[in-house]
A and B are shown apart, each in its own frame.
Chain A
Amino acid sequence: MAVPPTIPTSFVPHPGGSEARRATTDLTGAFGFFTYFVFAIIVLSAFAVFGYDRLLAAQQKSKDEQLAAAEAQLDLATVNGIVRLRDRLASGQTLLNKHVALSNFFHALEKALPQNMRLSQMHISMDSNGKVMLTATGNAKSFNTLAQASDAFAADMRIKDVIFSDITVTASNSVSFALTATLDPELIAFAPATPAVEEADITTP
């Protein structure tokens, strides 16, 4: 017998509709598991970072204390004394290498000047570059004496650029002159072998 179309069909669900709902439930569960897993990892990592940060802070504090103790043990006065000694040694060496001893020049001058020649005025000056200039005026008994002195200066290579000028014959037939020259720095350099007439006695306590 045919069922009239006004009578509703069976209420029993279709088997295919039940499978789709189960699949949706499984996907929801997987997503939930994934998100809870990520959440757990994130929370654990947050605690780990917090602990690591505290550990590093403690280590830093410990190292800071060790450093402060090490700094306190440094004796700055001793170190400053050593630095000054270094400066004194280095500067003393430099100054000694440039130490001036004009006695050497006077010894050389005594050898170069003839007996009958006389300097009436002499000026020695040193510029900031260490160049030593000599200017002098004097009298010689004759031209031959002046020539003799000129030859002696020429032979001594340490007294350079010797120029005699303002040469004038005086009433007494002597020769007056002016002299300019430069001195080799080695000629006035101090050497320990310099003969000392008197022991040094200039000190500062």
Chain B
Amino acid sequence: MRSRVLPVLALLLSVLIFFSYTKSVYEESVAKHKEAIAADLRALAAAEDYAARSGELVAAQNAMDQDALGRLLKMLPDSVNNVRSILDLDGLAARTGVAISSIDVSRESAAQATEDGASAQSPVGSVELSLSGKGTYAAFQKFLQGIETSQRLLDITDLTIIGSDTGVYTYQMTARLYWLR
């Protein structure tokens, strides 16, 4: 009788061990570890590529003309700094002979649409300055060209010229300036 009971118990115990431990550990814990290791290996490979690419880009950046990069930073600065731009415009007007009567910040422009139309993701912000002044046509031409060739990028989006018999015209314009958000 005993010689038959023990094998049956061993078989039952085998089944119990297999289903309660071996199978569950292999299918859950081992699989989880394998998946985590595979993810780590992928991340490590990506980090290696990232570091290599970053090194290449830093080298490329260092190889660029630093003066040109400085001009680029002035053209599209990190902040709007419209007060400085207003002062610079006032100085330009004084040098060219245009008498500025008012300068004001109109409003922040809508986000600039990118090529694919994803305006919400545009990294460029813009604000519009409205200004008015008086001066001769020659003075206005100098002022206009000063704006067009300024290091800080300015686009005139609206311009009104009112003539007079004295040769001194009244100018009202809206200029848009940009910065990198």
Q: Which residues of A contact B (CB under 8 A)?
A: 28-29, 31-32, 34-36, 38-39, 41-43, 45-46, 49-50, 52-53, 56-57, 59-60, 63-64, 66-67, 70-71, 73-75, 78-79, 81-82, 84-85, 87-89, 91-92, 94-96, 98-103, 106, 118-126, 128, 190, 194-205
Contact = CB atoms under 8 A, between A and B. Distances in A.
A160 to B, nearest CB: 18
Contacts of B163: 118-121
Contacts of B3: 28-29, 32
Contact of B36 (A39, A60, A70, A103): A60
B101 interface: no
A124 B88 CA distance: 24
B151 A202 contact: yes
Interface string B136-176: 00000110111111111111111111110000000000000
Nearest to B113: A128
Interface of B: 3-4, 6-8, 10-11, 13-14, 17-18, 21-22, 25-26, 29-30, 33-34, 36-37, 40-41, 43-44, 47-48, 50-51, 54, 57-58, 61, 69, 72-78, 81, 84-85, 88-89, 91-92, 95-96, 110, 112, 114-115, 122-124, 141-142, 144-163, 178, 180
A64 B36 CA distance: 9
Dominant SS at the B interface?
helix
A102 to B, nearest CB: 6
Given A46-B22, A99-B153, A198-B145, A87 B40 contact: no
B105 to A, nearest CB: 14
Nearest to B153: A95
B55 to A, nearest CB: 9
B149 A200 contact: yes
Nearest to A52: B30
A67 to B, nearest CB: 5
Contacts of A81: 61
Contact of A74 (B30, B51, B58, B123): B51
Nearest to B155: A100
B73 A102 contact: no
Contact of B88 (A35, A84, A203): A203
A45 B132 CA distance: 89
